[in-house]
Amino acid sequence: MTASIQTRIAADGGVLYLIAFAPDHLPPVRPRDLAACWDAAHAHAALGRAGPTRHFHFAGRHGPIELTLTDADALAWAAAVEARAALATPYGLALCLRLLALIGLLSRSAASRAECRLHRGDAMLSRRLLGAAARLPLGPDGQFSSDPPP
Protein backbone atom coordinates (compact mmCIF):
# COMPACT_ATOMS: atom_id res chain seq x y z
CA MET A 1 0.00 0.00 0.00
CA THR A 2 1.51 3.30 -1.03
CA ALA A 3 -1.23 5.53 0.35
CA SER A 4 -0.15 8.53 2.30
CA ILE A 5 -0.08 9.06 6.06
CA GLN A 6 1.05 12.49 7.16
CA THR A 7 1.68 13.59 10.73
CA ARG A 8 1.22 16.94 12.39
CA ILE A 9 1.19 18.30 15.92
CA ALA A 10 -2.44 18.44 17.10
CA ALA A 11 -3.92 21.45 18.89
CA ASP A 12 -3.64 19.58 22.22
CA GLY A 13 0.05 18.82 21.62
CA GLY A 14 -0.64 15.22 20.63
CA VAL A 15 0.03 13.61 17.29
CA LEU A 16 -2.39 14.07 14.40
CA TYR A 17 -2.30 11.43 11.66
CA LEU A 18 -3.85 12.44 8.34
CA ILE A 19 -4.60 9.20 6.52
CA ALA A 20 -5.61 9.21 2.86
CA PHE A 21 -7.73 6.05 3.12
CA ALA A 22 -10.25 4.32 5.41
CA PRO A 23 -9.30 1.80 8.14
CA ASP A 24 -10.76 -1.05 6.09
CA HIS A 25 -7.95 -0.52 3.55
CA LEU A 26 -5.21 -1.36 6.05
CA PRO A 27 -3.25 -4.53 5.31
CA PRO A 28 -3.16 -7.76 7.29
CA VAL A 29 -0.13 -8.13 9.55
CA ARG A 30 2.15 -10.99 10.53
CA PRO A 31 0.89 -12.81 13.65
CA ARG A 32 4.39 -12.71 15.19
CA ASP A 33 4.45 -8.90 14.83
CA LEU A 34 1.04 -8.63 16.49
CA ALA A 35 2.22 -10.94 19.30
CA ALA A 36 5.35 -8.80 19.80
CA CYS A 37 3.20 -5.66 19.96
CA TRP A 38 0.88 -7.37 22.47
CA ASP A 39 3.85 -8.14 24.73
CA ALA A 40 5.34 -4.65 24.30
CA ALA A 41 1.96 -3.05 25.03
CA HIS A 42 1.70 -4.89 28.35
CA ALA A 43 5.22 -3.77 29.28
CA HIS A 44 4.49 -0.14 28.33
CA ALA A 45 1.24 -0.12 30.30
CA ALA A 46 2.89 -1.68 33.36
CA LEU A 47 5.57 1.03 33.30
CA GLY A 48 3.01 3.79 32.77
CA ARG A 49 4.43 4.80 29.38
CA ALA A 50 1.30 6.37 27.95
CA GLY A 51 2.72 8.66 25.28
CA PRO A 52 0.93 11.53 23.57
CA THR A 53 -2.74 11.72 22.64
CA ARG A 54 -3.20 10.36 19.13
CA HIS A 55 -5.74 11.63 16.63
CA PHE A 56 -6.37 9.54 13.50
CA HIS A 57 -8.24 11.30 10.67
CA PHE A 58 -9.10 8.83 7.92
CA ALA A 59 -10.47 9.79 4.51
CA GLY A 60 -13.39 7.36 4.25
CA ARG A 61 -15.51 6.67 1.19
CA HIS A 62 -18.57 8.06 2.95
CA GLY A 63 -16.86 10.95 4.69
CA PRO A 64 -14.05 11.35 7.19
CA ILE A 65 -13.57 8.93 10.05
CA GLU A 66 -11.97 10.23 13.23
CA LEU A 67 -10.51 8.10 16.01
CA THR A 68 -8.87 9.70 19.03
CA LEU A 69 -6.94 7.82 21.68
CA THR A 70 -6.98 9.48 25.09
CA ASP A 71 -7.25 6.48 27.44
CA ALA A 72 -3.91 5.90 29.23
CA ASP A 73 -3.88 2.18 28.39
CA ALA A 74 -4.71 2.77 24.71
CA LEU A 75 -1.99 5.42 24.57
CA ALA A 76 0.51 3.00 26.13
CA TRP A 77 -0.44 0.36 23.56
CA ALA A 78 -0.05 2.88 20.71
CA ALA A 79 3.34 3.98 22.08
CA ALA A 80 4.43 0.34 22.23
CA VAL A 81 3.48 -0.17 18.59
CA GLU A 82 5.20 3.10 17.63
CA ALA A 83 8.41 1.81 19.22
CA ARG A 84 8.26 -1.28 16.98
CA ALA A 85 6.68 -0.03 13.74
CA ALA A 86 6.02 3.59 12.84
CA LEU A 87 2.34 4.51 13.12
CA ALA A 88 2.82 6.81 10.11
CA THR A 89 3.04 3.71 7.89
CA PRO A 90 0.11 1.54 6.81
CA TYR A 91 1.69 -1.53 8.43
CA GLY A 92 2.38 0.19 11.76
CA LEU A 93 -1.09 1.70 11.80
CA ALA A 94 -2.57 -1.72 10.96
CA LEU A 95 -0.69 -3.24 13.92
CA CYS A 96 -1.98 -0.53 16.25
CA LEU A 97 -5.62 -0.76 15.18
CA ARG A 98 -5.56 -4.57 15.21
CA LEU A 99 -4.07 -4.55 18.71
CA LEU A 100 -6.78 -2.16 19.93
CA ALA A 101 -9.47 -4.17 18.11
CA LEU A 102 -8.17 -7.37 19.70
CA ILE A 103 -8.41 -5.83 23.17
CA GLY A 104 -11.96 -4.72 22.37
CA LEU A 105 -12.79 -8.19 21.11
CA LEU A 106 -11.49 -9.81 24.32
CA SER A 107 -13.68 -7.49 26.38
CA ARG A 108 -16.88 -8.48 24.58
CA SER A 109 -16.43 -12.05 23.33
CA ALA A 110 -16.42 -15.02 25.68
CA ALA A 111 -15.26 -17.28 22.83
CA SER A 112 -12.22 -15.07 22.28
CA ARG A 113 -11.47 -14.88 26.00
CA ALA A 114 -11.32 -18.68 25.98
CA GLU A 115 -8.33 -18.27 23.61
CA CYS A 116 -6.51 -16.18 26.24
CA ARG A 117 -4.70 -17.64 29.25
CA LEU A 118 -4.03 -15.38 32.23
CA HIS A 119 -0.92 -16.10 34.28
CA ARG A 120 0.65 -13.82 36.92
CA GLY A 121 -0.91 -10.68 35.48
CA ASP A 122 0.09 -11.55 31.92
CA ALA A 123 -2.27 -12.61 29.15
CA MET A 124 -1.11 -15.27 26.71
CA LEU A 125 -3.06 -15.39 23.45
CA SER A 126 -3.49 -18.56 21.44
CA ARG A 127 -1.84 -18.80 18.02
CA ARG A 128 -5.26 -19.27 16.49
CA LEU A 129 -6.60 -16.00 17.94
CA LEU A 130 -3.45 -14.06 17.01
CA GLY A 131 -3.57 -15.48 13.49
CA ALA A 132 -7.20 -14.52 13.04
CA ALA A 133 -6.63 -11.03 14.49
CA ALA A 134 -3.66 -10.54 12.16
CA ARG A 135 -5.68 -11.43 9.04
CA LEU A 136 -9.31 -10.46 9.64
CA PRO A 137 -10.37 -7.39 7.69
CA LEU A 138 -10.89 -4.20 9.63
CA GLY A 139 -14.16 -2.37 9.21
CA PRO A 140 -14.51 1.33 8.45
CA ASP A 141 -14.56 2.03 12.21
CA GLY A 142 -11.15 0.39 12.76
CA GLN A 143 -12.64 -2.63 14.54
CA PHE A 144 -12.74 -6.16 13.13
CA SER A 145 -15.41 -6.48 10.47
CA SER A 146 -16.39 -9.80 12.09
CA ASP A 147 -15.29 -11.67 15.19
CA PRO A 148 -12.76 -14.48 14.76
CA PRO A 149 -14.28 -17.95 14.84
CA PRO A 150 -13.94 -19.68 18.24
| Res. 13: pLDDT tops 80 | yes
Report the relative pairing of strands 15-19 and 54-60 from DSSP bridges: parallel
**In the prediction, which pLDDT does 125 show?**
63
53: DSSP letter: -
pLDDT mean across residues, the chain: 82
- How far apart (Å, rounded) are the C-alpha atoms in residues 78 and 70? 11
**In the prediction, which pLDDT does 23 show?**
92
Nearest to 22 by CA among 67, 59, 57: 59
